[in-house]
Structure 1
Amino acid sequence: MDPNLINALATNCGCILILDLPIGTTFGIDINCWNTDTKFKGIKLIPPGLHFIFTNSNDSHGNSSFRSGFFHWFESKDIQIKQWCKNSEVLLDNELSHEEALKYKSNILSFDQDLAPYPYDSFKKWTSLTNYITKDILNKLNSKIISSCPDYTTKKFISSKKGTIKELVTTQNNDNEHNSYKSINLPKIQPDNDIKNIDDLLNIKPEYTISYTTIPKRLLYPKNSNPSDITKHNLDTSYTLQSLIIPQENEDNLKLGHELLGEIQFSFICFIYGHHFESFDQWKKLVLLLCNSETAIRSIRYTNLYIGLISVLYYHIQEIPADFFIDIIEDPSQNFLINTLNRLFNSISLPSLSDEDEGRKKLVNRAKNFKNYLRKNGYHFKSSKFVDDEYPVVIKTF
């Protein structure tokens, strides 16, 4: 790297100092991860902005424990100090006194040889995966710790074509593990009559909770809707979508709904790199809601929202194998993403009164290019608009 660039980065960038991290621990920042060696003490030259730091310990046989991580918005010259907690196997910042933290920060240069430089060759991809996550969105969603919650499940993992371990499914301990997955053996759950719900079982603390947008279990529709209207709003989820998009004061259509795109990106990072299965569920709900909102898709008001959605999904697709969703639902005849995107493409291709609008033309062109890209990369689309078990309930009047 150019020495002048290094000096510029050293002046403006941040670093994270990790104390007491065991040798052989998996440590990652953003989309990169490594197994640590004896001298590793953290990362330096971290560019300002959003970053995701994660860890999981490994035993002598190479088996991984649960993964935990956290988001942090690095400011210029920001120095973060985290200490490994042996009991909980997470990185914490409340283990040090204020005086101890100041001492480490004032002597940070003494650790320079033990700090690995941030991998800038992956920074462009990271920003593409997180460009809609603002500070406001981070503050709204963020829990202090993103954890894959190992207490009650056995984890299944799969390696992608890029060699990155991706967690796909959590199953109960008594499930049969397939040979194609690398599993972690965890203690089986003992019956406990005092357990009332999953939160009791997991003993989830507030700092582990992500404040995701609540997606209604039943699709919304206006008051006094007749059966025909209810059927319409089950087929087209635009009314539910619009109820979740609250326009900010003086906000124009260019940024309308961008907070949902930021939440989609946040949940994707938590699942793919944080192994947080509940985040996959949220990601799936939001993508399904947006792609089923035909009226919104065809409305000029939401054109930029859907241009942004296609861009977000384009970068997500590059991080997951083509058969990713088939593996999850374990039914090779169905694929959630293909069927969902098929609805999106069908709605965009329908004639609209705004077809001559430049933004609309851009959306149509972006959708065609994205669909062609998917086909070249193993995604095969059918003409069917709905998967059998996803047809909405049709209400009839007698």
Structure 2
Amino acid sequence: MSESIIEIDPELAKRLLIEGGTLIMLDVPTGTDFGIDIKSWNSGENFKGIKMIPPGFHFVHYSATDDYGESAPRVGFFHFFSRSEFVVKKWDPKIEDISLEAVPEETVQRLKSNLLELDRYLGAYPYDMWKQWKELTDKIDKSLVERCNPKSGYVRSALELINYDDATRPRGGEPSKKRKRGSGLTLEEREKELLPDLKPKPGTELRLTELPQKFYPDDATPAEITRHSLDTSYALDLMLNKLKDPMEIIGELQLTFVCFLAGQSLDSFEHWKALISLICKADSLIERRRAIYVEFFKVLEVQLSHVPEEVLCDIVASNNFVYHNLRKLFANIEENSQVDDRLKSLASRMKDKLTKKFLWDFKNLLDEEDDEAPVVVSMD
């Protein structure tokens, strides 16, 4: 891990030795997949942690490894390192995870006073990726992390699920109410009713902004339902109004992306996709929320350059949700007379960059694609 220091200017290295944070990890088993931000390594026999961590937001993550070399699902935690901060965590072999108990203060002080001796067991923060990490996370602040962080304090790629049917059913009582409605259901609905109602164990899931369950008002007419299904402005505005600052949606877009990229969280990936769809399919809201769209283009361009190749194949080749959603957004911006020329120019530059990089075809934007056909609302 220390090889990255070769790339650092000597003056900068000296400053980071003084100002950088230190993360001490006690008793981490050899071979554990351990990392910070978008880099990870297999821990060596003498590994004790990471030094020279630049002040700011970071994501520490790890996967326990068994005797056969198989890795457990990834776990991680967020931390805003302050100048010269000294953090100590201890591994608990019983749970094969970081101990839930805080390291005693006397142990922390002893380690801190012995830092010079510890130094050779600490890997240097991989500074070559610091600029990229800042670009990926520049809209993530402490208030956003406090709101979205799981109550447990740890982001897990594989959430522990519990059956809410059993958890909420009174002892000796009948199965949940929904099981009583056997008549009048289709075969598919009956099969769904028989499935357990699995939900994440309380406190383990990211507390992300709840996405609108429906994209139209309660009293909407069939014609309005169709319009709101094609233009998600109503649903997006509903979501933005729940936030203290509407720009938090961009921070949440970044947070869910790094939880997927570094934390391997598929739940975060799904939320990221849903946010992209909601933002891209809005039309009448674009001019009023112009600042959000300016930042959205910047953030998405950076994120697409970091999508893992195996995931990019899925995004680009098969069900290309990013392409289809951007195509819709570019068409809306092109046709919307309320959108100013500067935003149209920004969208055009983004189009050109993506066409050059991914060979995406954004010509004939106004030609309706099969999956963009109008939603037909039944009057029955």
| TM-score under structure 1 length normalisation | 0.77
Q: What CA deviation, in whole Å up to 9, does each residue of 1:115-172 have, x standing for no partner? A: 11111111000000001111110110012111122768xxxxxxxxxxxxxxxxxxxx
What corresponds to 2:104 in structure 1?
97
Shift of 1:386: 6.5
Aligned to 1:103, the other structure's residue is in SS state: helix
Q: For residue 236 of structure 1, what is the aligned residue in structure 2?
A: 231
SS in 2 for 1:64: coil
**How many pairs does the alignment contain?**
337
Asked if 1:290 is matched to 2:290, the reply is no
Q: Secondary structure at the match of 2:23?
A: strand
For residues 1-398 of structure 1, what are the structure 2 equivalents within 5 Å? 1-59=8-66, 61-92=68-99, 94-143=101-150, 144-149=153-158, 196-199=196-199, 204-206=201-203, 208-221=204-217, 224-246=219-241, 257-297=246-286, 299=287, 301-321=288-308, 324=311, 327=314, 334-355=319-340, 360-361=341-342, 363-381=343-361, 383=364, 388=370, 391=373, 393-395=375-377
Q: For structure 2, list consecutive stretches of 5 or more residues without a partner in the other structure.
A: 1-7, 162-194
* Equivalent position SS for 2:284: helix
**Cα shift at 1:381:** 2.9
Structure that is richer in helix per residue: 2
Task: Read off the aligned partner of 2:197 and give its amino acid letter.
Answer: N
Structure 1 Cα separation of the partners of residues 95 and 240 of structure 2: 38
Compared CA separation, residues 92 and 377, structure 1 to 2 (3 A): farther
In the TM superposition, residue 270 of structure 1 has moved relative to its aligned partner by: 0.7
Q: Tell me how far apart the structure 2 counterparts of residues 39 and 397 of structure 1 sit (CA, whole Å).
A: 69
Separation (CA, whole Å) in 2 of partners of 1:140 and 1:7: 35
- Distance of aligned partners of 1:220 and 1:79 in 2 relative to their CA distance in 1, 3 Å threshold: farther
Task: Name the CA distance, whole Å, in 2 between partners of 1:11 and 1:133.
Answer: 25
Closer, same or farther in 2 for the Cα pair 1:92/1:127, shift >3 Å? farther
Q: Deviations over 1:53-87 (max 9, x none)?
A: 00113345543221111111111121111112223
Change (3 A) 1:209 1:134: same
Partners of 2:42 and 2:303 in 1: how far apart? 25
Q: Quick one: distance in 1 between partners of 2:266 and 2:318? A: 23
Which segments of 5 or more consecutive residues in structure 1 lack a partner in the other structure?
Answer: 153-194, 250-255
TM-score in terms of structure 2 length: 0.80
For residue 372 of structure 1, report the CA deviation from its aligned partner. 1.7
What is the root-mean-square deviation of aligned Cα atoms in Å?
2.8
Larger Rg: 2
Are 1:18 and 1:41, in contact at CA under 8 Å, matched by a contact in 2? Answer: yes
> What secondary structure sits across from 1:319 in the alignment?
coil
Aligned residues with identical type, % of pairs? 34
CA contact (8 A) 2:231 2:284 kept: yes
In structure 2, the partner of 1:176 is none
